[in-house]
Each structure stands twice: as structure tokens, then as C-alpha cells.
Amino acid sequence: MAWTLYYLIELSVVRKLETYTRETVMKRLLIVDDDPDHRMILRTRFEAKGYGCEEAEDGGVALSKLETDQMALVLTDLNMPRMNGLQLIDQMGRLSLLKTTPVILVTNQVVDEMSSKAYKLGARAVISKPYNFSKLLEEVGRTIGQPEKVCNPSKS
């Protein structure tokens, strides 16, 4: 009897954790930028708005994270060493990650040719620097939805 009760309690906890994980994964962002200060600022601001955030310093690191962690959206800079934002989007497309993970490209070099290439590769949006955080937040919300104010792990 005690073992059965323990099993039911444990199963209930697992179900609650699975629900919690499913809800939070839907709103996790991967911030890809070679500037650690910019990543920290974005992470702080997005987490304050209720999004979960992970960071990567270039496209290669981002791809490694995407292979092991499910993200709701990738927010990437264009100019980075080793693998830039366009190369990251291209590789995500080749690995079929764009089907499940949209990308927003942020750059200080918005020109029609580059924007066109980004959209052809699969970017959902191209935003120029300097940008208004409210506009960026709006674009993220439009792409993946707003985060829940409170994640209720007891929902089933």
C-alpha cells in the first residue's frame, strides 16, 4: 500500500514536471551574439518579460545547443566569428531546425540584398541596430506568442 501511494505521488510529480517543462520550453529564446554584454542585456530584459533564455557566442555554439535543447526562437546577430547569423540560418535549414525554431536576425548592416538573403534562408524577421527593445519584444511576441505570467506546473 505504501509503495503504491509513493508510486502515485512520484507519477504525479513527474506529470507535473513534464507539464512544467512543456510550458516553459515553448517560450525559451536562444540569444546568439559574440558580444557578451549585448547577450546579457537582452537576456536580462527578456527574462524580466517572462521568457527563458540561453546564450551562445556564435552560430557553431548555437547549433550545438539546438541539437540538445528545444528553443522557441533564435535571436541572432549577423556579424560573428566562426559562423555568422546567415550561416547559422542556412545550417538550421539544412538540419530542418527552421521547421520548429523560427529565427530573427538582428544587424547593424540592413541592406536589401542581405535582408533578402536572410528571408530566403528562412529568417522570420530582420531587425536593424540600434533597435527599440519594445519593437524587438513585439516581434518576438508576434512570432512565438507572449510568455505566461505565471507558469503553473500543476496544470494537466
Ranges of each domain in the chain: 27-142
Cell of 123: 529568417
Checking if the pLDDT of 149 tops 50, the result is yes
Confidence band of 148 (pLDDT split at 50, 70, 90): low
Q: Is 34 helix (H, G, I), strand (E, B) or coil?
A: coil
Contacts of 73 (CB under 8 A, 6+ apart): 29, 30, 101, 102, 103, 104, 140, 143, 144
Query: Residue 1, exposed/middle/buried by CB under 10 A (0-12, 13-18, 19+)?
Result: exposed
Fold of the 27-142 domain:
Rossmann fold (3.40.50)
pLDDT tens column, 14-60: 444 444 444 444 589 999 999 999 999 999 999 999 999 999 999 99
Q: How far apart are CA 153 and CA 56, in angstroms?
A: 28
pLDDT, tens digit, for every residue of 96-123?
988 889 999 998 877 788 899 999 999 9
Evaluate the omega torsion of the peptide bond into residue 130 and state whether it is cis, within 30 degrees of 0: yes
